[in-house]
């Protein structure tokens, strides 16, 4: 009974030292965020509890409300951790975070470090207050025992003794006056023996015990990177042989929680165990067996952290539009692009020089990064990864997954290869690379991550998608309320750089080539095109870019493709637009000749575009630009408001 625990504390023989130890250790345990963030520290506190002669019942009573209080004070604990890790004590904390054994405590997590300090202080305050209350109570009761005959007659009644036994239990035989001067041992001898036995068992059974520990750590880390549930049945470790085997890996798709983004029956890895005491795990090579993409889950996954929302698009330039101007299911594509952005951020890691100079203009500051990660992952999972020195906490030298089965590419499998993947890529000598290729080369992607200061935060991407059926995506196009293209295939080519500091942003050309496709033009019907390349450009956040389609280059591409009826319609529309504009344009020298193969004068790259806006002739000729702007809308229609 809970009342017995309290009254036994009042009537028992607990000493002030035992009470203070119990309160301090109990609150410290309650303020720990979790085993994944503070494995070594939780083990240390439990061993300290066993060795010290703390009151176990009081520890249990203190730890539960301390845990509830820690959840309410997470922002405060996080801020306190920032003061410790990024303040004057940063040098000391950096040494401890990277030192053998101390690295296992999890002090790099802001909530762990802040929670340890706050828990110890609150526990000490609560313990001292409880000791004072206990002393006052025992002194009062000792006075009644010695000086009050009424009290002595009252406690001697048989029914009072029964009531006290029900509420208090057996209790101590000492009188309250004796309890006032009670002294006890601070160290529990039996606890010392137990701790020595436990540590010995850990040393002997380290391979067996490392499995559950690494399973929990890997599952937590993979969930943070994936943004959704990751199932991992077990991890078997052979430290002597340098081998690790993972079984039953299944990562839920954050955009479709009923399916697995990736599933593998077995994962075999070669590991280097020399740095485990420094919380460093180096995996030389990982090979996946029976991997699959898109498999149905028996139980739907869950989102881990906050689902990243597409970032605000950059300010529009003339001629630029958003995904929603061309795609009817733009939100679905933005969700997928947001996941890609999240993976790129994880692969690129934090900037090496941003923490040292929080106000530097290049990329986001340390405060910005921490607040963003806190919003996405929660306070408990934000770590001071910039304090990791020497080598990354996790390094994967080579990752190979050949023959991944998937429904996304009919009759094809996927080969995935990655190298130099780590939690702190700027600590490695070589850049991380990821390549993904289908068996028939339909999809071919290579990503090379720029590392921190050395890479300038710039990553290179080569993306090619060949033979995509037009009809598979034509229904998604939201152009003027009709389908502008049908039949044939599309090739997509994207080559350029991605700026990874402060979130992935792009500014690169996108080439779309249509093969044997029928193209529709407003007012001119439709015509088959054997091959036509449409040049686009993408700019802004990778998950919410702006697109630009150059009118003049599109007209040139149409003529080059040999689409006679469409090219003729374009010419007719251009002539009509120019004719309508002539009444508002003063041209003493006559109307310039129009050659669609070279683009329209004054539209998208002609010489007229180079004139200064202050030129009166150019101001008068602006009607030409406005009239000719309908070329693109004529080809692909204009999106309705």
Band of the pLDDT at 341, cuts 50, 70, 90? confident
Average pLDDT value over all residues in the chain: 76
The pLDDT of residue 88 is 92
Which of 180, 200, 220 finishes a domain?
A: 200
pLDDT at 167: 53
Region 147-176: what's the mean pLDDT? 61
- Both tokens of 341, joined, read 């952005």
Residue 150, exposed/middle/buried by CB under 10 A (0-12, 13-18, 19+)? exposed
Task: Give the pLDDT band (50/70/90) at residue 66.
Answer: very high
The 10 Å CB-count burial string (b at 16+, else e) for 533-561 is ebebbbbbbbbbbbbbbbbbbbbbbbbeb
| Beta carbons of 305 and 227 less than 8 angstroms apart | yes
Q: What is the DSSP letter of 584?
A: T
For residue 93, is it within any domain? Answer: yes
Least confident of 109-118, 258-267, 303-312, 587-596: 587-596
* Residue 199: other Cβ atoms inside 10 A: 11
Cα–Cα distances in angstroms (integers) from residue 52 to residues 23, 56, 301, 638, in the given order: 12, 10, 43, 77
Q: Which of 113, 101, 117 is nearest to 382 (CA)?
A: 113
Residue 407 falls within a domain, yes or no? no
- How many whole angstroms separate alpha carbon 420 and alpha carbon 402? 18
Rounded mean pLDDT, 363-374: 80
Q: Which residue has the higher pLDDT, 67 or 499?
A: 67
Q: Say whether pLDDT at 230 is over 70.
A: yes
pLDDT at 170: 55
Print burial letters for 19-47: b (CB count within 10 Å at least 16), e (below 16).
bbbbbbbbbbbbbbbbbbbbbbbbbebeb
Whether 64 shows a pLDDT value over 60: the answer reads yes
Q: Decide if 105 contacts 17 (C-beta within 8 A).
A: no
Closest CA to 504 of 540, 537, 450, 536: 540
User: Residue 146 and residue 101: Cα distance in Å, rounded?
Assistant: 55
Range with the largest mean pLDDT of 220-224, 361-365, 407-411, 603-607: 407-411
Look up residue 405 and give its two tokens.
């089965």
**pTM, full prediction:** 0.64
Q: Which of residues 144, 166, 200 is at a domain's end? A: 200
3-state secondary structure of 376: helix
Alpha-carbon distance of 628 to 554, in angstroms, equals: 13
- Bridge-based pairing state of the strands 394-406 and 281-293: parallel
Asked whether the predicted pLDDT for residue 614 surpasses 50, the reply is no
| pLDDT above 80 for 319 | no
Q: What is the pLDDT of residues 537-587, one digit of tens each?
A: 888 888 888 888 776 676 677 667 655 555 555 556 556 655 665 555 555
Residue 493 is encoded by which pair of tokens?
Answer: 């080519």
Q: How far apart are CA 49 and CA 63, in angstroms?
A: 12
Closest CA to 308 of 329, 344, 346, 334: 334
Q: Which residues pair with 462 in a beta bridge?
A: 446, 495
Check if the beta carbon of residue 410 is closer than 8 Å to that of residue 399: no
Q: Provide the pLDDT for residue 608.
A: 44
Residue 80 maps to a domain: yes
- Residue from 331, 619, 350, 365 nearest 476 by CA: 331
Angle at 236 between CA 195 and CA 234, to 5 degrees: 95
User: Residue 629 sits in which domain range?
Assistant: 567-636
Please report the pLDDT score of residue 141 as a whole number: 66
- In this structure, is residue 466 part of a structural domain? no
Enumerate residues 6+ apart whose C-beta is below 8 A from 593: none
Tell whether the model's pLDDT for residue 158 goes beyond 50. yes
Provide the pLDDT for residue 71.
93
175 vs 102: CA distance, rounded Å: 46
Please report the DSSP string for 527-561 in residue order: EEEEEEEEEEEEEEETTS-EEEE-HHHHHHHHHHT
Residue 311 is inside which H or E element, if any? none
Out of 170, 200, 230, a domain closes at 200
**How long, in residues, is the chain?**
641
Beta strands in 143-206 (DSSP E): none
Q: Would you say residue 219 lies in a domain? A: no
User: Average of pLDDT values for 375-383?
Assistant: 87
Position 420 in a domain: no
447 vs 478, more confident:
447
- Report the domain count for the chain: 2
What is the token pair recorded at 414? 């996927």
Contact 518, 526 (CB under 8 A): yes
Q: What are phi and psi of 215, to 5 degrees?
A: -60, -50
Q: Residue 590: pLDDT above 60? A: no
- Residue 315 confidence (pLDDT) above 70: yes
- Token look-up 């994880």 returns 346
Is 19 part of a structural domain of the chain?
yes
pLDDT per residue as tens digits for the range 190-209: 888 888 888 777 666 666 66
Q: Report DSSP letters for 231-287, one per residue.
A: EEEEEEEETTTTEEEEEEEEEEETTEEEEEEEEEEEEEEEEE-TTGGGT-EEEEEEE
Look at the alpha carbons of 587, 590, 591, 593 in this order and tell me if their dihedral is positive or negative: negative
The DSSP code for 457 is T
- Spatial separation of the C-alpha atoms in residues 405 and 400, rounded to whole Å: 14
Residue 354 has pLDDT above 50, yes or no: no
Q: Is residue 152 part of a domain?
A: yes
**Under 8 Å between Cβ of 286 and 271:** no
């Amino acid at each position: 009974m809970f009342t017995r625990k309290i009254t036994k504390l009042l009537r028992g023989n607990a000493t002030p030292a035992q009470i203070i130890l119990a309160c301090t250790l109990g609150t410290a345990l309650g303020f720990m965020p979790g085993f994944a963030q503070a494995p070594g520290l939780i083990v240390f506190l439990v061993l300290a509890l066993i060795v010290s002669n703390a009151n176990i019942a009081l520890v249990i009573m203190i730890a539960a409300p301390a845990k509830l209080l820690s959840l309410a004070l997470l922002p405060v604990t996080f801020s306190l951790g920032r003061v410790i890790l990024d303040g004057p004590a940063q040098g000391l904390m950096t040494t401890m975070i990277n030192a053998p054994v101390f690295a296992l405590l999890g002090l790099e997590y802001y909530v762990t470090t802040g929670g340890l300090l706050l828990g110890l202080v609150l526990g000490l305050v609560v313990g001292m207050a409880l000791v004072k209350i206990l002393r006052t109570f025992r002194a009062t009761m000792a006075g009644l025992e010695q000086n009050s005959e009424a009290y002595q007659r009252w406690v001697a009644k048989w029914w009072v003794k029964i009531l006290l036994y029900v509420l208090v239990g057996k209790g101590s035989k000492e009188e309250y006056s004796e309890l006032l001067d009670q002294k006890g041992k601070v160290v529990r001898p039996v606890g010392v023996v137990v701790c020595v036995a436990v540590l010995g068992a850990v040393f002997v059974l380290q391979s067996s015990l490392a499995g559950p520990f690494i399973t929990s750590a890997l599952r937590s880390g993979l969930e943070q990177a994936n943004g959704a549930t990751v199932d991992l049945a077990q991890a078997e470790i052979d430290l002597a042989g340098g081998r690790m085997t993972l079984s039953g890996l299944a990562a839920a798709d954050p955009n479709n929680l009923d399916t697995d983004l990736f599933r593998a029956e077995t994962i075999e890895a070669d590991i280097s165990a020399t740095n485990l005491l420094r919380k460093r795990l180096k995996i030389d090579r990982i090979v996946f067996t029976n991997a699959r993409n898109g498999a149905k889950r028996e139980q739907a996954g869950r989102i881990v952290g906050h689902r990243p929302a597409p970032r605000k698009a950059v300010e529009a330039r003339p001629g630029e539009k958003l995904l929603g101007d061309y795609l009817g299911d733009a939100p679905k594509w933005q969700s997928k692009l947001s996941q890609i952005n999240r993976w790129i951020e994880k692969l690129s890691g934090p900037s090496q020089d941003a923490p040292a100079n929080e106000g530097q203009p290049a990329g986001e500051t340390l405060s910005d990064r921490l607040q963003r990660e806190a919003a996405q992952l929660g306070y408990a999972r934000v770590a001071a990864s910039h304090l990791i020195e020497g080598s990354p906490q996790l390094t994967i030298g080579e990752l190979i997954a050949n023959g991944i089965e998937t429904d996304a590419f009919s009759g094809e499998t996927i080969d995935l290869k990655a190298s130099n993947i780590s939690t702190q890529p700027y600590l490695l000598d070589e850049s991380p690379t990821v390549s993904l290729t289908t068996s028939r080369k339909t999809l071919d992607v290579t990503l090379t991550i720029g590392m921190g200061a050395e890479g300038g935060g710039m990553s290179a991407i080569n993306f090619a998608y060949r033979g995509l059926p037009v009809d598979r995506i034509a229904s998604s196009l939201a152009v003027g309320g009709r389908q502008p293209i049908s039949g044939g295939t599309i090739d997509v080519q994207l080559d350029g750089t991605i700026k990874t500091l402060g979130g992935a942003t792009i500014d690169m050309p996108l080439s779309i080539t249509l093969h044997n496709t029928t193209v529709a033009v407003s007012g001119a019907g439709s015509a088959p095109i054997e091959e036509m390349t449409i040049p686009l450009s993408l700019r802004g956040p990778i998950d919410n870019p702006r697109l630009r389609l150059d009118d003049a280059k599109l007209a040139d591409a149409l003529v080059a493709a040999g689409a006679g009826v469409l090219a003729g319609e374009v010419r007719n529309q251009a002539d009509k637009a120019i004719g309508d504009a002539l009444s508002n344009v003063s041209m003493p020298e006559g109307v310039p000749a129009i050659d669609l193969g070279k683009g329209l004068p004054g539209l998208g790259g002609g010489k007229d575009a180079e004139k200064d806006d202050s030129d009166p002739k150019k101001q008068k000729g602006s009607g030409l630009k406005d009239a000719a702007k309908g070329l693109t809308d004529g080809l692909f229609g204009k999106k309705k408001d």
